[in-house]
Structure 1
Amino acid sequence: MNRCGIFVAVILAIVTKSCLSDEHTHVYQDEEEVVLWMNTVGPYSNRQETYEYYSLPFCAGPKSSISHYHETLGEALQGTELEFSGLDIDFKTNIVSTKYCQITLSEEKLFALTYAVKNHYWYQMYLDDLPIWGIVGEVKDGEYYIWTHKKLEIGYNGQQIVDVNLTSDSKVKLLKDTVISFSYEVVWKPSEIKFTDRFDKYLDPSFFQHRIHWFSIFNSFMMVIFLVGLVSMILLRTLRKDYARYSKDDELDEMEKDLGDEYGWKQVHGDVFRAPAYPLLFSSMIGSGYQLIVVALCVILFAMLGDLYQERGSLLGTGIFVYAATSPVNGYFGGSLYSRLGGKQWIKQMVISAALLPLNVCVMVFFINFIAIYYHASRAIPFGTMVAIACICLFVILPLTLVGTVLGRNISGQANYPCRVNAVPRPIPEKKWFMEPAVITLMGGVLPFGSIFIEMYFIFTSFWAYKIYYVYGFMLLVFLIMVVVTVCVTIVCTYFLLNAEDYRWQWTSFCSAGSISMYIYMYAFYYYFFKTKMFGLFQTTFYFGYMALFSCALGVMTGTVGYVGTGIFVHTIYSTVKID
């Protein structure tokens, strides 16, 4: 194993806290116990509206000698509720059809099961970390039936489990006072599937590697080439003319300059590096954006190298770990920018920068969690998990952000502008309506959104439907394309703004690039109403709440990218012009 693989393995070990049991080593001896875990149950159309399996009047098997599985942080946040099925299953030991429990349908139990069948409830189980899905029942001729028999066909290769299939059988009509017996059957079969390939059956290459996916990548790539070439040609040609005109102006005496028609981006050289409005908030947003960019790249790379989709909650757990570990990035870039802008309240800036994203996430999660508790859903985050997250914020993120802020202020906190800043701000002349910062902001996110909206469909479908996203190479390529498109568009918008003698480019570049979040959230509305069959208060709140967080986070990332790229452009053009 190379160094990169070893590093990924260490990261995953820290995040998932894997314990040394057979279920995690995945190696069994003949007749050794194999645990079947019951996870959650919920309506098929609402993937996130899940409840404990035994919230429905199902009954467990007679075996109760095994302790409850200890969940990781990522599993707890995702609503995983593993409970022992009570079924006796041994490695390579076939079990004929065996009844393990029975229930009598009281009026309350009848109502619960009827409601579940009517709303197409599915349940999920795990065996050796392999997910298994089954349907509660079916509706036929206006009558409601429940499946009472579970047949598990388990494939093994050597001493490892490589495949599990569930067949539901024995349909029983739901009527009051009916006695329903539940049974199970286990059949072990040798398999040629390699252990490293056992998750391939859950992937959907025909969906994620469809020709339209490749075409969208190619289309976005061609857009990048065209846009970069167009921007380079226009700006180089225009700036060459500007340089020639300004060089000619420099040869004129003061009286001739006063009689001349002065206009263009050179005229705002004394204000272009003026600190933007609300510098504390601005620097905090930029610091958070830098951190999110690093987190996104790291998680995508870990997912590409470590197949994080194979471990429950590992992707979310890795994201939390990487976010906490990269807190110095936030402090460094946010603190250094605030110092260069002349800010004095650096402790306040550090606290706001560290708390900006976690606080917004916690507020939204608290609101959704309140509804989840009301619904008794498994998505309700336990109190202990909330305490753990709070401790991470207070004792990991905040101190590391402080370290980064101190380093940033001392290493790169000195302003190095090519032009002096005038003591009195220059009046901003009137301009055409389409050159106003508000209009530029709205239009700036159109092309970046156009470069990624096809990929958004695949990402949305993997999260809100029953798909496992695994093409992280596509995601990385689309992310890089989005960065290039965002920088190009923002530079053009900023050049037009400065040419109109409006020096308020910092917030404008950030907001125009970040306006992609608005278009993504609008697309989320379209996806909800036309691509899904979601229903109910909980699922709707969950969907739009987390989509708001996703859109805002992506907006902060792209806003930071736009500001950084534009900052380099602005610094470059004013450095190459002789200004008296």
Structure 2
Amino acid sequence: MAWVMSYMNKETCVIFEDEYQDKEEVVLWMNTVGPYHNRQETYKYFSLPFCVGSKKSISHYHETLGEALQGVELEFSGLDIKFKVRANDVMPATYCEIDLDKEKRDAFVYAIKNHYWYQMYIDDLPIWGIVGEADENGEDYYLWTYKKLEIGFNGNRIVDVNLTSEGKVKLVPNTKIQMSYSVKWKKSDVKFEDRFDKYLDPSFFQHRDADEKMRRDKGIHWFSIFNSFMMVIFLVGLVSMILMRTLRKDYARYSKEEEMDDMDRDLGDEYGWKQVHGDVFRPSSHPLLFSSLIGSGCQIFAVSLIVIIVAMIEDLYTERGSMLSTAIFVYAATSPVNGYFGGSLYARQGGRRWIKQMFIGAFLIPAMVCGTAFFINFIAIYYHASRAIPFGTMVSKLV
């Protein structure tokens, strides 16, 4: 069953499926732009002075709850792309023009200095590109103006997308820069259900992209990971060995005490684990809060375990925000786990206000998460980050 992607404009509501008809419209969404060396710092694509194509604008419609909560706001590129229709395969076509004044040039120069890269989507397939590059001396800056798209299809479905950035143009104030694109369609043997497999291949992110010419190696440092893993195992083994030796000595002394008479045993001082048994086994001074925390912890453990299992079985990575949506649904479904463990512990400690404990256990973690999210979101709104969620959207989702 094909997934359905919906988006609306002011006049009509158009629904596109993953299966296309010949010459049917294919939408190129612009997502974010930000520094390559800080993947968490992202802004809207058109926060840089890029221009938009001439095609009528289409507003993005959130597909999932997780996509809305992550602040994903895709913007229409304005490019006219038709399924299996070669668009300017030989010569690039100009879709817009940038009137480059000093302010816009400074914005592009700042982006190039910080190695800004952008992300786009075609049929939910992500595409990455670099904004521009500087010369070896760092005096002149160039903008990539030509987007060369190569789209692979299998039957009536899109299974592969590649972007090549060309058309390097020097940034000179008070000039006009023409942005162009071309689309080439090619048949592919990749199955639709396997089209995301290349993004899971480590070699896909290991090579140095000739278009981006990044100075930093993108290879995964497997030796560092293995070294850290072995260090953790060594430290855990060392601490375990020390604890086992201490316990063995304590148990040996306890066994000797059993052979003593009551008088000698009472005169002896407590030592070892006996010194902490009073603190370990004493009842909590705040049983209401303690039982609520224990119940919430059990629920979070259950949510983590279930989400990991679902992620291993289902392809949650193929849809934006699906992991967060799954976690929210599982958290709501596992609320009885919180009530059982928290309520039973509270009852064993002699608690009688079980209704109050139930409400505290149910709203403790959501209140902490929502409060933190609101605070961070206000900071994101102040800096105009792409992950900022509009205040009205946050309130509507909570309600």
Q: Do they fold alike, i.e. is TM over 0.5?
A: yes
Pair 1:69 & 2:61 matched: yes
Kept after mapping to 1: 8 A contact 2:62/2:68: no
What residue number does 2:297 align with? 289
What residue number does 2:159 align with? 162
Task: Write the distance in 2 (CA, Å) between the matches of 1:270 and 1:43.
Answer: 54
What residue number does 1:263 align with? 270
Q: How far did residue 228 of structure 1 move? A: 7.3
Pair 1:95 & 2:95 matched: no
Letter matched to residue 149 of structure 2: L
Pair 1:355 & 2:363 matched: yes
What residue number does 1:307 align with? 315
Q: How far did residue 57 of structure 1 move? A: 1.9
Deviations 1:438-466 (A, max 9, x none): xxxxxxxxxxxxxxxxxxxxxxxxxxxxx
Q: Is 218-227 or 307-316 further displaced after alignment?
A: 218-227
Letter matched to residue 300 of structure 2: L
Kept after mapping to 1: 8 A contact 2:59/2:75: no
Task: Write the distance in 2 (CA, Å) between the matches of 1:20 and 1:39.
Answer: 16
Q: How far did residue 281 of structure 1 move? A: 2.4
Pair 1:126 & 2:121 matched: yes
What residue number does 2:175 align with? 178
Match of 1:274 among 270, 273, 282: 282
With over 3 angstroms needed to count, the CA separation of the structure-2 counterparts of 1:375 and 1:127, relative to structure 1, is: same
Task: Write the distance in 1 (CA, Å) between the matches of 2:16 and 2:251.
Answer: 62
SS at match of 1:187: strand
With over 3 angstroms needed to count, the CA separation of the structure-2 counterparts of 1:24 and 1:275, relative to structure 1, is: farther
Task: Write the distance in 2 (CA, Å) between the matches of 1:32 and 1:20.
Answer: 15
Alignment of 1:46-445 (within 5 A): 46-64=38-56, 66-96=58-88, 97-140=92-135, 141=137, 142-205=139-202, 210=222, 235=247, 238-239=250-251, 242=254, 244-245=255-256, 247-248=258-259, 252=261, 258=266, 260-261=267-268, 263=270, 273-391=281-399
Please give the root-mean-square deviation of Cα atoms over the aligned residues, in Å.
Answer: 3.4
SS at match of 1:110: helix
With over 3 angstroms needed to count, the CA separation of the structure-2 counterparts of 1:191 and 1:41, relative to structure 1, is: same
The percent of aligned pairs where both chains have the same amino acid is: 61
Letter matched to residue 298 of structure 2: Y
Deviations 1:97-141 (A, max 9, x none): 211111212333233223222322211100011100111111224
With over 3 angstroms needed to count, the CA separation of the structure-2 counterparts of 1:286 and 1:24, relative to structure 1, is: farther
Question: Matched residue pairs, number?
Answer: 372
Greater helix content: 1
Q: How far did residue 31 of structure 1 move? A: 2.1
Q: How far did residue 70 of structure 1 move? A: 2.6
Kept after mapping to 1: 8 A contact 2:5/2:63: no
Task: Write the distance in 2 (CA, Å) between the matches of 1:280 and 1:374.
Answer: 38
SS at match of 1:30: coil
TM-score, normalised via structure 1 length: 0.57
With over 3 angstroms needed to count, the CA separation of the structure-2 counterparts of 1:61 and 1:314, relative to structure 1, is: same
Alignment of 1:462-541 (within 5 A): none
With over 3 angstroms needed to count, the CA separation of the structure-2 counterparts of 1:181 and 1:268, relative to structure 1, is: closer
Kept after mapping to 1: 8 A contact 2:43/2:385: yes
TM-score, normalised via structure 2 length: 0.80
Greater strand content: 2
Q: How far did residue 86 of structure 1 move? A: 1.5
SS at match of 1:95: coil
Kept after mapping to 1: 8 A contact 2:72/2:386: yes
Q: Which runs of 5+ in 1 are unaligned?
A: 1-8, 392-580
Q: Which runs of 5+ in 2 are unaligned?
A: 8-13, 204-218
